[in-house]
Structure 1
Amino acid sequence: MSVPIGNEPSHLCCCEYVNRKGERSHLLACLCDCEDIDLAFDNCINCNKVQSNTMRNISATIADRCRIPWCGGRGAIQVRLDVIFPIIMVPSCILLGSIGPVMTIVALVSMPFLMFLFYRIWRRHHTQVRTKFFSSWANTSIIFSYFVFQTFVVAFRKILLWEFLLFFTALLALFYVLYLTKKNPGFLKFGHADQETPTVEDPQSWRPNSKWIESLKNSDKNWNDVYLNGDAKIQIDANGENHSISSSQYNMTNNCVNESMAPMIPMELVTWVDSRPIEGHYLITWCGFCNLQRPPRTGHCYVCNSCIGVRDHHCVWIDNCIGANNHRPFLVSMILFIFCGIYGSHLTLTTVCTPEIYYNWILWPNDCRFLYSDFQTSISFVTACYVIASTSIILLAFVQQILFISQNVTSQELHRATMNGKSCIGLYAYNNVHNRGLRKNWMEFIFKPSRSISPKIPV
């Protein structure tokens, strides 16, 4: 039952809330009075198509009514579906998998399928770019896996004290490094959400950069057929030849009017690996979202809505960009996650299975015939299988990071190189001017505050 409220704020009890229509409602009425759900059921019964607007309204209504009681006078607080769904799905699938071996396979295979199905449906009806879905999935997996380890595996009393302390210390270190990774990745400037991306099809008036004109004079390139916006022509004496530069085809944004900003570089001259995009046969060095002249190795993240120095990628599992300031703790967090996943699974499997010792100190699970004899053993085994699968995926991503750092290239630079046909199977970048050799690349990544920019790239 919903009651309209006036403009004056009123005190709400722990189970009341103001719904999206501005009416006071109660948690007990969460399953009542939804015309869109009634309409959808009627269409299904009559074999009629359910309209997309009806499904969008149902999704909005469910999201609005998904709340938990809360004290403080503001009523029940809203819980985001993209956050709560992984919290429910991960434990449910693991619990179902503990029934038997067939259910284990079904649960572990269906879990990612159901997760991505929900994400696709949720994304279809929500316009916001940023979501906590994947970070909620990752955090729930880590916390629930440790809960099973602490509650069921340790209860067997087969794990030595130093083994438990080693695992627990590594897990604490993982959370600490993730905290460091979540800090500023190297934000240069934040953009405006309502600003459109500049394109070369929308010419705007601008005047050329004096530094750029000077670079034309000192260049040995052929600058014929280089154009600027407008009707004015500029005569530049380069290597004894006069070049007529018209402004009818060379496009910039409306903000490019001060002399400190460089214009776009023709695509034919871009022989190096660059993280900045190429659009309309030009290398775009200006970010229209952030109103910023992007230096080399800089990328704009549409999720963080910011330009980030030496941007590698946006990691959805921690909901944060990886850039100049947090790439090293990110790599350390991957190492700790892999260690905790492998070591925790090893301790679990050697506990629930009868182990056999090799070389007088290595235990290996040998007899696993009684995995589903009781709930304690089965849930420990299913959780270990889930952790092994997750760790294998992170291990592949870690190997990819090792390859990229070894050649001093970021994921964004390699992505641009692949789009421009300058990479080998998406793992090696040609004409990488930042590559200084394996040893120097790693020394720079480990010891220098930020990775350097090659002077061969014009700024």
Structure 2
Amino acid sequence: MKGHASSTEGLCCCEYENNQGEKSHILACCCDCEAFDQAADRCITCRQVPPETMERLFKTIEDRCRVPGILGQGAIKLRLDVIVPVITIPVCLFLATIGPVMTAVMLTMMPIFLLWFYRMWKRNTKKDRTLFFYSWGLMSVVTIFVVFESCVVGFREILLWEHLLLLTAMFLMLYNFVRTKLNTPYLKNLKRPRNFEKMNQSDRRIVNADDTFKVPMSLEEMTAVELPESDVKWLDSRPITDGKLVTWCQHCNLNKPPRSGHCNLCKVCVSVRDHHCVWIDTCIGADNHRSFIISMMLFVFCGYYGCHLSMTTLCTPKMYFDWFLFPNDCRFLYIDFQTSASFVGTCYTFLASTIMLFGLIFQFLLISQNLTSQEFHIASQRNMLRHGLFATKNVYNQGFIHNWFNFWLTGRKDTRTSVITL
């Protein structure tokens, strides 16, 4: 760079300093790009583009993807992993309104294209954490909401209480979504010295008269030792490395309590870690798992209920059992743009809700066993799954009713004071 001061001074709203420290203009985004010329030449001649060329091309595109700034610091740089879903989703849904064939093609090709782009972007930028899926999900919700409110509601066929019920459920979904984002249960540094090497083998297990092991599971005992893998016969979320159960996180400099886990994306340990949800870009754990499940449930409800309201509006409905409307005559779904946009939005919502439903059912299966996704993954690696769905040697499982009762009323705990007899 030519100097730190020059990056913010003397630049108009459309100017910026590129990666080489040279002043450039957003109108020159397609000019003089050697990496693009080489990639295009190889594509035309059906030759493979070298990885280093693709890497330089992605860096150039990210550097030149900007919009005019109004803060006096030149053009604002846009993140490629954010802007691509924002542009792709509305464009594909708009093209899908042309006809039934285009609807099938666009709803099939759009996720394929987005996943292909994500794979290419991640491989060439070498970044671990991304807002790609967060941008994809948020843009999908916004687009579908706008289509529903402007097109479906515009037919004036939906009753007021039906509309208010859907809006209330969406508000609650967003509220719980925000709570999930704000209440991520990151573990704080306990600042205790690592004293694993001082422990004797006799201190790491208790042998009963019948040669069975009684493994202490209190916080102080379990975070102060590294048990041999042969002694870890219960399901534990913490990794087993070099034949030992690792309870010390070198990245966070702390002893990990039971059920916790380190997130490689958040770069921090999480209490009772379930998984890192890329769709909301946050970790799910002890403090936000309930709000996460509520968000998923409300998403599925809003999706399917919105589809029902849309289809009974677009199609001639028929009454069943004197209270339930079901779409009957759907011959005019592409008669105009308003109708076709409503139908395309309904199809996209139905697909997204169905995918979310499968994730919700999987979460219900885990909660019924008082099991986290991380523990389920460890159980799969250690051959501790029965029928591929039910974990064995799960010391936290207290029965179906107690598991659900504890989840909704007390939250998932790390069971710091319980004792396991194996």
Q: TM-score scaled to structure 2, two decimals?
A: 0.91
Question: Secondary structure, in 3 states, of the residue corresponding to 2:32?
Answer: coil
Match of 1:292 in 2: 254
Match of 2:284 in 1: 322
> Matches of 2:96 and 2:83 in 1, distance apart?
21
The one-letter amino acid paired with 2:365 is L
Q: Which has the higher contact order (CA 8 A, sep 6+)?
A: 2
The one-letter amino acid paired with 2:207 is S
Considering only aligned residues, what root-mean-square deviation do their CA atoms show, in Å? 2.5
Question: Secondary structure, in 3 states, of the residue corresponding to 2:265?
Answer: coil
Percent sequence identity over aligned pairs:
48
Please tell me whether the aligned partners of residues 285 and 294 of structure 1 are also in contact (alpha carbons under 8 angstroms).
Answer: yes
1:59-458 equivalent positions in 2, closer than 5 A: 59-189=58-188, 207-209=197-199, 213-216=202-205, 218-220=206-208, 262-453=224-415, 455-456=418-419
Aligned positions, number:
408
| Structure 1 unaligned spans of 5+ | 192-203, 224-237, 239-258
> Matches of 1:221 and 1:7 in 2, distance apart?
72
| Structure 2 unaligned spans of 5+ | 214-220
> Matches of 2:76 and 2:209 in 1, distance apart?
63
> Matches of 1:451 and 1:7 in 2, distance apart?
49
Question: CA separation of 1:72/1:393 partners in 2, compared to 1, >3 Å: closer, same or farther?
Answer: same
Structure whose residues are more often helix by fraction: 2
1:20-35 equivalent positions in 2, closer than 5 A: 20-35=19-34
Q: How much has 1:18 moved relative to structure 2?
A: 1.1
Please tell me whether the aligned partners of residues 296 and 356 of structure 2 are also in contact (alpha carbons under 8 angstroms).
Answer: yes
Q: TM-score scaled to structure 1, two decimals?
A: 0.84
Q: How much has 1:288 moved relative to structure 2?
A: 1.6
Superposition misfits of 4+ residues, deviation over 2 angstroms: 4-9, 38-51, 204-207, 212-216, 218-223, 259-263, 449-452
The one-letter amino acid paired with 2:32 is D
Please tell me whether the aligned partners of residues 296 and 457 of structure 1 are also in contact (alpha carbons under 8 angstroms).
Answer: no
Q: How much has 1:222 moved relative to structure 2?
A: 11
The one-letter amino acid paired with 1:308 is V
> Matches of 1:137 and 1:190 in 2, distance apart?
34
> Matches of 1:298 and 1:438 in 2, distance apart?
22
> Matches of 1:209 and 1:260 in 2, distance apart?
12
Question: CA separation of 1:48/1:107 partners in 2, compared to 1, >3 Å: closer, same or farther?
Answer: closer
> Matches of 1:261 and 1:320 in 2, distance apart?
25
Bigger radius of gyration among the two: 1
> Matches of 1:222 and 1:290 in 2, distance apart?
40
> Per-residue CA shift, 1:307-326, capped at 9, x if unaligned?
11100011111011000000
